[in-house]
Amino acid sequence: MLPCQSKIDLPTRREFLAALFTGMACCRLGQETWAQPMTGLMSPATDGKLSLKLADFPVLASEGGSIGLMYGTDFPVLISRLAEEFVALRGECPHASGTVIPLNGSFFCTNHGSVFDTEGIAFSGPAVGTQLPQYTLTHHEASGLLEVTVPNMAHSITVVALSGADRLALTFQSISGAKHEVRFRAQLTGAESVVSFASTPTGSLNVTELSGDGTSKTVYVSRSGQGGFFLVNAKVTQL
């Protein structure tokens, strides 16, 4: 008999930052100073990348350990450790699109109670005979990073230099329910830092977070200093 959903203690969402979902929407602004004129540079990215440090998730150190990550109102990304490898799954139940979450060493559909093993194969409930969709996952052993490719989640950035102002306008598609922040890299690869921005062309550059609603958003950043790359990230919370 299937467990009744109302009698199960579902995990509560922990509202700390587990990782960052990077839209990989880097904007190359040249290696010169930003005194150069710039208009409409944008990223060709098509897929999103979810990068996480294994050390941040001790539960993934043991075989069968699983986590669920949310970056908005979409379905969670589920990651579990198998004997020799990791697997990343889309937490959307194939039966009727219920949300699937980690629960007691398995994955559990919060809609009709189907249960899936750590490889995403349903072994109980109405979803039996189906399997959760799998994402491409790369384990970078040297750096201890897991990188999951999430199709169609990239949010490219359009960059426009404001005439007469020392600012750039960054326009991007926000993710509904996600919190976004802007980061900067001096080089394509290398250290990033969080950038404060303004929500209006002349507003104070003191905003660090923006709530996404699925619409296009524009934020304004300083272009003083050397050229480089901007990224707009969506914060991820752990279920």
Chain contacts with ligand FES (rule: CB under 6 A): 93, 95-96, 98, 109, 111-112, 114, 125-127
- How do the residues of the chain divide into helix, strand and coil, expressed in percent and rounded to 5? 5, 50, 50
Closest distance to ligand FES from the beta carbon of 113 (Å): 6
* Rounded Cα distance, 129 and 14, in Å: 32
Q: Of the two residues 108 and 184, which places its CB atom closer to ligand FES in the complex?
A: 108
Beta carbon nearer to ligand FES, 3 or 227: 3
Which C-beta is closer to ligand FES: that of 110 or that of 171? Answer: 110
Cα(112)–Cα(93) distance, integer angstroms: 9
Q: Which is nearer to ligand FES, 95 or 155 (CB)?
A: 95
Residues 53, 24 contacting (CB under 8 angstroms): no
User: What is the rounded CA–CA span in Å between residue 91 and residue 73?
Assistant: 12
Measured between alpha carbons, how far is residue 37 from residues 59, 135, 149, 159, 166 in Å?
49, 40, 34, 11, 11
* 31, containing H or E segment: none
CA 223, 229, 234, 235 dihedral sign is negative
User: C-beta of 66: minimal distance to ligand FES in Å?
Assistant: 17
Nearer to ligand FES, 51 or 114 (CB): 114
For the CB of residue 18, give the shortest distance to ligand FES in the complex, in Å: 24
Q: How many other β-carbons are positioned within 10 Å of the β-carbon of residue 222?
A: 16
Smallest distance, ligand FES to C-beta of residue 98, A: 3
Nearer to ligand FES, 111 or 218 (CB): 111
| Residue linked to tokens 């999103």 | 48
Least separation in angstroms between CB 133 and ligand FES: 13
* Least distance (Å) between residue 10 CB and ligand FES: 14
